[in-house]
């Protein structure tokens, strides 16, 4: 397996982009990534793109062909992958494996979702197709409800409070203030979160990531090409991908996302490091409880301690381990197929010293989850 570097990143503004369609978002992100890498369309040898549901959200499947076509990449192999909200992370990993294998030297990995243009289906209903339709969806379960069960049990078992969960949202909104691509540029307070309406007790509106349109892309190259093309390559030091039971009822412990634990274990092993070596991380905060679970499952704190750790400011910019310096899914926005790639972009910017909340980190981690933990992808990046 060869070394692989990211040498270009690009993303669209995240938000409710009613004047844009899915394809134009994907093309914009791709073109920006290519320009940032200093290469041309004709240099791109292979594309991996993550989208959760082109069919249900935007009435378009066969996405990799269409996006390659509209991007001017005609005739290259082009692969769409889908792993619900982890589609972007899986696209990144497949592009990484492709370059690492020697199959190609220059790949583009992207993600896109257009969630705000809808006909018959509601967004929450579409997102619920990432849960088990046969054992969860059939009873009307949607993701706010599934994560609410996890949150309630975490509160019961470890004393986690609604204020501690709110602290995740407050921090991520603050972080987003310096990210020009973020959906929200609005500081909120603990009281704002606590006063927002319950959408699924104990999860409130401001505990949840928003509905977002957007796209993100990165250019990955082999070591040889990285040395030829780039002065500031960011290396992928570890890549882990794991699945778990798609439904909550079939897990030993619904407060441990085994997919996260396994994916992280594989990534740490490959990078030959431990959680202590991570200096900044983008984790999957689709709800505030998700960020707390991620801190625990990634090994940054002991199980049950993430609420206190967050309340103490340890995950803030300037804290022990800054989490979601981009604003996270919560405030940057969560166009589901794009989120895994946007996380990688923040990691690259941190390691290049170009991030809005710049930590000067030399080692970064990204963590992308599908559904309630049926899939998790973890990547470790180094300067």
Q: Which residues make up the interface to its own copies (CB under 8 A)?
A: 1, 21, 23, 52-56, 58-66, 68-69, 73-84, 90, 93-94, 97-98, 100-103, 120, 126, 129-134, 137, 241-247, 250, 258-259, 262, 370-371, 374-375
Q: Which is nearer to its own copies, 19 or 75 (CB)?
A: 75
Q: Which is nearer to its own copies, 336 or 347 (CB)?
A: 336
Q: Which is nearer to its own copies, 235 or 277 (CB)?
A: 235
| Distance in angstroms (rounded) separating the CA atoms of residues 339 and 77 | 23
Running DSSP on this structure, what letter comes out for residue 301? S
Q: Which is nearer to its own copies, 80 or 154 (CB)?
A: 80
| Intra-chain end-to-end CA distance of the chain, in Å | 19
All residues at 6 or more sequence positions from 335 whose CB lies less than 8 Å from its CB, including other chains: 14, 111, 112, 113, 114, 115, 212, 213, 214, 215
Running DSSP on this structure, what letter comes out for residue 196? S
Query: 110: helix, coil or strand?
Result: strand
Catalytic residue among 85, 173, 230, 241: 85
Running DSSP on this structure, what letter comes out for residue 116? S
Q: Which is nearer to its own copies, 49 or 327 (CB)?
A: 49
**Whether 207 contacts 328, CB under 8 Å:** no
All residues at 6 or more sequence positions from 34 whose CB lies less than 8 Å from its CB, including other chains: 8, 10, 40, 41, 43, 44, 108, 219
Task: Name the minimum Å distance from CB 210 to its own copies.
Answer: 20
Catalytic residue list contains 367: no
Catalytic residue among 154, 173, 334, 367: 334
- Angle in degrees, 0-180, between the axes of helices 336-352 and 87-101, rounded to the nearest 10: 60
Element (H, E) at 322: none
| Distance in angstroms (rounded) separating the CA atoms of residues 189 and 34 | 39
Task: Name the minimum Å distance from CB 144 to its own copies.
Answer: 17
| Distance in angstroms (rounded) separating the CA atoms of residues 366 and 355 | 15
Catalytic residue list contains 334: yes
Q: Which is nearer to its own copies, 58 or 170 (CB)?
A: 58
Q: Is the dihedral of CA 235, 240, 241, 245 positive or negative?
A: negative
Query: 223: helix, coil or strand?
Result: helix
Task: Name the minimum Å distance from CB 308 to its own copies.
Answer: 29
Task: Name the minimum Å distance from CB 99 to its own copies.
Answer: 10
Task: Name the minimum Å distance from CB 26 to its own copies.
Answer: 13
Task: Name the minimum Å distance from CB 234 to its own copies.
Answer: 21
Task: Name the minimum Å distance from CB 44 to its own copies.
Answer: 12
Q: Which is nearer to its own copies, 54 or 356 (CB)?
A: 54
**Whether 265 contacts 146, CB under 8 Å:** no
Instruction: Give the number of other Cβ atoms within 10 Å of residue 229's Cβ.
Output: 18
- Please give the positions annotated as active site: 85, 334
């Amino acid at each position: 397996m060869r070394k692989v570097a990211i040498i270009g990143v690009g993303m669209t503004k995240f938000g409710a982009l009613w004047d844009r369609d899915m394809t134009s978002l994907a093309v914009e992100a791709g073109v920006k990534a290519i320009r940032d890498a200093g290469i041309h369309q004709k240099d791109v040898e292979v594309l991996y793109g993550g989208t959760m549901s082109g069919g249900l959200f935007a009435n378009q499947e066969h996405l990799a062909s269409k996006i390659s076509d509209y991007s001017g990449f005609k005739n290259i192999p082009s692969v769409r992958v889908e792993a619900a909200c982890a589609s972007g992370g899986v696209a990144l990993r497949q592009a990484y494996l492709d370059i690492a294998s020697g199959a190609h030297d220059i790949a583009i990995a992207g993600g896109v979702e257009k969630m705000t243009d809808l006909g018959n289906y509601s967004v929450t209903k579409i997102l619920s197709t990432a849960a088990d339709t046969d054992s969860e969806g059939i009873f009307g379960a949607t993701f706010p409800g599934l994560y609410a069960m996890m949150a309630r049990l975490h509160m019961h078992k470890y004393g986690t409070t609604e204020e501690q969960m709110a602290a995740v949202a407050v921090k991520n909104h603050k972080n987003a203030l310096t990210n020009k691509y973020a959906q929200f540029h609005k500081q909120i307070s603990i009281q704002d979160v606590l006063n927002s309406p319950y959408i699924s007790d104990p999860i409130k509106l401001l505990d949840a990531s928003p509905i977002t349109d957007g796209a993100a892309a990165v250019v990955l190259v082999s070591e040889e090409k990285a040395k030829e093309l780039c002065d500031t390559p960011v290396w992928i030091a570890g890549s882990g991908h794991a699945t778990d039971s798609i439904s909550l009822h079939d897990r030993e412990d619904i407060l441990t996302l085994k997919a996260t634990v396994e994916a992280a274990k594989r990534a740490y092993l490959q990078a030959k490091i431990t959680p202590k070596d991570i200096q900044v991380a983008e984790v999957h905060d689709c709800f505030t409880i998700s960020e707390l679970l991620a801190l625990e499952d990634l090994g940054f704190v002991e199980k049950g301690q993430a609420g206190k750790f967050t309340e103490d400011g340890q995950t803030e910019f300037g804290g022990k381990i800054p989490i979601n310096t981009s604003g996270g899914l919560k405030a940057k926005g969560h166009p589901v197929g794009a989120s895994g790639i946007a996380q990688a972009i923040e990691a690259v910017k941190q390691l290049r010293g170009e991030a809005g909340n710049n930590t000067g980190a030399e080692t970064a981690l990204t963590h992308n989850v599908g559904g309630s933990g049926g899939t998790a992808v973890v990547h470790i990046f180094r300067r």
